[in-house]
């Protein structure tokens, strides 16, 4: 009996050893030659709209951007309900990698929310240490399946193309915008001053405006980012909650501006954050390029340049019209060349600022100031440049005599009139 048992153990041990050796041989020699079918875990639904609502109806994703300027992370530009959204998770994946990495997002609602319940928000998603995710989904739980979640490609991982010098970010065109003449004049002024591209977050405009936009898209100047914010939220047309109590301020302007910063971070040397009825007008220099070269030389550490905003009421016209505008009268909209009277500064009130920024140094922006940046802020004096802003008056009771005549814009009259006329003709207006 004892003898038999010993024999059994011996055979069993030898067999086991042979099996172990065979397995390791197969593993080392044979397995590497059998193509491994790696499972693609990026099985969510590719998101291709600018605004993507999540299932909670409280979180709206704009886009994720790789950001390793301070900590290596994916920064997701979003809109969230500041009270209701307390917990979100980032689900990272890569199409040729059988791993999913889930990390908890830090939810950073921007401080400039102006009392609206929804605000521009950064979701800070820590990335996996040892691999580079290409996609991310956002979910309220770390549990469950990625399969039915919207899947976003992470942008800015590889800076591409050669950047232009100046890009104007127009945050939200809304209200069936139809101010054709002022739009074309602003566009031609931007071109004269040296713009590379104009990025417009478009909510709505008139059919005629659509035609004008198509012209500029074909010219390669305008890029349209669809901005259907009012399909998801009640959008205020004012910037403060008390003036228009809706879900989100001014058609989500602040979120659009922040998206514009990250979207163009490596596509443009400078970004100008202003509205369509505003033009940053150099006084001391002929164009934006020489202006910024000089300003940047004087302030090497500057990341943000602020320009004083001055109102030129569209209700106050020049008395003696030096130009012959008869051929523009059929075009709807304001003719800025007829508005060269500006409102004086108000006591106890500072004029708001508009900005030219180096996007690679900006972390978070608001409309009239940058909230977080790695660099100095420079207030550009009025004799160097200012913002020409032609709109309804802020001080409607002032008489013409109390306004200040300022014909800086007229310096460009010859080129501006010629170029605007040419464009209107080409569009068929």
Ligand X SMILES: *[C@@H]1O[C@H](CO)[C@@H](O)[C@H](O)[C@H]1NC(C)=O
Q: Does the protein bind ligand X through residue 419 (CB under 6 A)? A: yes
Interface residue with ligand X among 68, 287, 415, 426 (CB under 6 A) is 415
User: What is the C-alpha radius of gyration for the chain, rounded to an integer number of angstroms?
Assistant: 29
CB of 126 or CB of 393, closer to ligand X: 126
Interface residue with ligand X among 326, 330, 347, 383 (CB under 6 A) is 326
Q: Does the protein bind ligand X through residue 162 (CB under 6 A)? A: no
Interface residue with ligand X among 178, 210, 410, 427 (CB under 6 A) is 410
Q: Does the protein bind ligand X through residue 191 (CB under 6 A)? A: yes
Q: Does the protein bind ligand X through residue 320 (CB under 6 A)? A: no
Q: CB of residue 173 vs ligand X: minimum separation in angstroms?
A: 21
Report the SS3 class of residue 158.
coil
Size of the site for ligand X (CB under 6 A): 19
Interface residue with ligand X among 46, 95, 142, 226 (CB under 6 A) is 142
Q: What share of the chain is helix, strand, coil (3-state, %, to 5)?
A: 30, 30, 40
Q: CB of residue 40 vs ligand X: minimum separation in angstroms?
A: 24
Measured at the CA of 400, the angle between CA 399 and CA 404, to 5 degrees, comes to 120
Alpha-helix residue ranges (DSSP H) falling in 87-148: none
CB of 40 or CB of 145, closer to ligand X: 145
The residue number with the shortest CB distance to ligand X is 191
CB of 400 or CB of 411, closer to ligand X: 411
Burial 294-314, CB ≥16 within 10 A → b, else e: ebbeebeebbbbbbbbbbbbb
Of the candidates 269, 292, 299, the one whose C-alpha atom is nearest the C-alpha of residue 384 is 292
For 234-243, the CB contacts below 8 A with 24+ separation are 235/174, 235/203, 236/116, 237/174, 237/175, 239/114, 239/367, 240/114, 240/115, 241/114, 241/115, 241/116, 242/115
Q: CB of residue 246 vs ligand X: minimum separation in angstroms?
A: 16
Interface residue with ligand X among 24, 57, 290, 298 (CB under 6 A) is 57
Tokens of 424: 């209107």
Question: Which residue ranges make up the site for ligand X (CB under 6 A)?
Answer: 56-57, 141-143, 191-192, 322, 324, 326-327, 407, 410-411, 413-415, 418-419
């Amino acid at each position: 009996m004892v003898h038999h048992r010993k024999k059994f153990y011996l055979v069993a041990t030898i067999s086991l050893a042979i099996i172990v050796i065979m397995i390791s041989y197969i593993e080392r020699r044979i397995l590497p030659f059998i193509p491994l079918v790696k499972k693609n875990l990026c099985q969510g639904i590719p998101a291709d709209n600018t605004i993507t609502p999540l299932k909670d109806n409280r979180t709206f994703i704009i886009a994720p951007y790789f950001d390793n300027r301070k900590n290596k992370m994916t920064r997701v530009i979003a809109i969230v309900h500041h009270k209701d959204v307390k917990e979100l998770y980032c689900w990272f994946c890569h199409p040729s990698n059988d791993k999913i990495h889930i990390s908890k997002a830090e939810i950073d609602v921007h401080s400039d929310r102006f009392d609206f319940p929804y605000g521009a928000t950064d979701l800070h998603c820590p990335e996996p240490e040892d691999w580079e995710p290409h996609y991310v989904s956002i979910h309220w739980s770390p549990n469950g399946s990625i399969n039915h979640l919207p899947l976003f490609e992470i942008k800015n991982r590889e800076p591409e193309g050669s950047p232009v010098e100046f890009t104007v970010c127009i945050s939200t065109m809304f209200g069936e915008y139809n101010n054709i003449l002022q739009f074309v004049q602003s566009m031609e002024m931007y071109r004269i001053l040296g713009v590379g591209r104009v990025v417009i977050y478009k909510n709505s405009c008139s059919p005629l405006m659509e035609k004008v936009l198509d012209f500029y898209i074909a010219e390669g100047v305008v890029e349209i980012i669809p901005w259907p914010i009012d399909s998801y939220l009640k959008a205020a047309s004012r910037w403060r909650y008390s003036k228009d109590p809706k879900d989100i301020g001014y058609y989500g302007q602040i979120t659009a501006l922040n998206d514009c910063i990250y979207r163009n971070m490596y596509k443009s040397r400078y970004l100008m954050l202003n509205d369509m009825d505003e033009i940053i007008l150099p006084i001391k220099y002929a164009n934006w390029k020489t202006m910024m070269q000089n300003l940047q030389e004087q302030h090497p550490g500057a990341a943000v340049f602020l320009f004083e905003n001055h109102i030129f009421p569209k209700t106050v016209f020049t008395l003696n019209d030096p130009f012959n505008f008869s051929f523009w009268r059929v075009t709807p909209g304001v003719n800025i060349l007829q508005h060269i009277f500006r409102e004086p500064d108000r006591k106890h009130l500072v004029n708001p600022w508009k900005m030219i920024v180096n996007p690679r140094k900006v972390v978070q922006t608001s409309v009239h100031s940058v909230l977080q940046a790695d660099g100095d802020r420079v207030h550009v004096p009025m004799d160097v440049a200012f913002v020409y802003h032609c709109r309804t008056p802020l001080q409607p009771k002032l008489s013409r005599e109390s306004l200040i005549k300022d014909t800086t814009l007229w310096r460009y009259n010859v080129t501006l009139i010629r170029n605007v006329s040419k464009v209107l003709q080409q569009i068929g207006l």
